[in-house]
Amino acid sequence: MKKALITGASSGIGFEYAKHLNQNGWSLDLISHSEERSKKAREFFQNNNNNYFHFDLSKKDSILELLEKVDCPDLVVANAGITMMSKAGESTSLQRDELYYLLCGGVIDLIEGLVPRLKEKDASRIVIISSIGAVTPMPKSSLYASAKSAIYSYGRSVGEELADENVSVTISLPGYVKTNAHKRAGLDHLEKKIPFWMWVSAEKVVRTTEKASRAGKSTVIPGIAYKLVRPFLGMKITSKVWKMLNKRI
Ligand SMILES: NC(=O)c1ccc[n+]([C@@H]2O[C@H](COP(=O)([O-])OP(=O)(O)OC[C@H]3O[C@@H](n4cnc5c(N)ncnc54)[C@H](OP(=O)(O)O)[C@@H]3O)[C@@H](O)[C@H]2O)c1
């Protein structure tokens, strides 16, 4: 039985990933922060082969403890994260440290800690859920966008390095996905403001990402709208339209 480790598995994209793999007979190590939300996932899966862990992954000690507790999986899905609105100059040092560790430093510590064991397997895969924000400016979310960009860059480089060791690395860059993320960040108004064609379902993100990972692709952008727009991201006119559509409060 293949084993996957999924961070942020209690809701949204991580929960959908867990559902997808569970349906396909995988055993799962599911990591999240809140015991309450994890309990709901446990009740949903009712699978004795799954293990549930609770860690605050914005803290270094959590990753170290996690690495000691888990067996080496065949697939790592580094997904846990939050979105954060942060006007320039208004975040605290602690907020920046925790956001950066959760979205980037901790993901790197997790992967670096598992790589020696992953390399010993005949084949293994790593999936990193980054964001389309990694490749386009996100005013008032510059910390989020820059952390997602850094982990995208790490994933691409380490992926090239590990290709000869039978460890594939796929970075997924989703656009807007309806999950708990925006509500948690106090950005629920975006659910009404962002046009319908800019939303991708969590199921679609998972199906597209898993297909790309199985095919050994390095980067994947789920959703046709984002795929079409991708070559134009970063251009002045696209940034202007993007800024208008994504206006933070
Ligand atoms: N939604 C979008 O539009 C969108 C777009 C692009 C990329 N993404 C990325 O997709 C990933 C998943 O987000 P989502 O949209 O599915 O959001 P979500 O529904 O809010 O789920 C977030 C998951 O991450 C876990 N998590 C958050 N902070 C954590 C912490 N400090 N320690 C441990 N676990 C933590 C949550 O666990 P608890 O429930 O236990 O707190 C939850 O399982 C994130 O990396 C996000 O940046 C989302």
Range of the domain at 115: 3-245
Q: How many domains does the chain have?
A: 1
pLDDT class for 247, splitting at 50, 70, 90?
low
User: Per residue in 184-236, pLDDT tens?
Assistant: 988 888 888 888 888 999 999 999 999 999 999 999 999 988 888 888 777 77
Pick the atom of ligand 1 nearest to 38's CA.
40
What CATH number does the domain containing 144 carry? 3.40.50.720
Pocket residues: Cβ below 6 A from ligand 1: 8-14, 32-34, 37, 55-58, 79-83, 102, 129, 131, 174, 176-177, 179-181, 184
Determine the residue of 30, 33, 148 to mutate for testing ligand 1's pocket, defined as the one with the most ligand atoms within 8 A of the Cβ atom: 33
**Span 21-66, pLDDT tens digits:** 999 999 999 999 999 989 989 999 998 899 999 999 999 999 999 9
pLDDT digits (tens, 9 = 90+) for 75-104: 999 999 999 988 999 999 999 999 999 999
Model-level pTM? 0.95
Mutation pick for ligand 1 pocket among 52, 65, 83 (CB with most ligand atoms within 8 Å): 83
Going by CA atoms, what residue is nearest to atom 33 of ligand 1? 33
One DSSP character per residue, the chain reads: --EEEEES-SSHHHHHHHHHHHHTT-EEEEEES-HHHHHHHHHHH--TT-EEEE--TTSHHHHHHHHHHSPPPSEEEE-------B-TT-S-HHHHHHHHIIIIIHHHHHHHHHHHHHHTSSSEEEEEE--GGGSS--TTBHHHHHHHHHHHHHHHHHHHHHGGGTEEEEEE---EE-SSHHHHTT-TTHHHHS-GGGEE-HHHHHHHHHHHHHTT-SEE--SHHHHHHGGGTTSHHHHHHHHHHT---
Q: How many angstroms separate the alpha carbon of residue 82 from the centre of ligand 1?
A: 5
CA of 12 to the centre of ligand 1 (A): 7
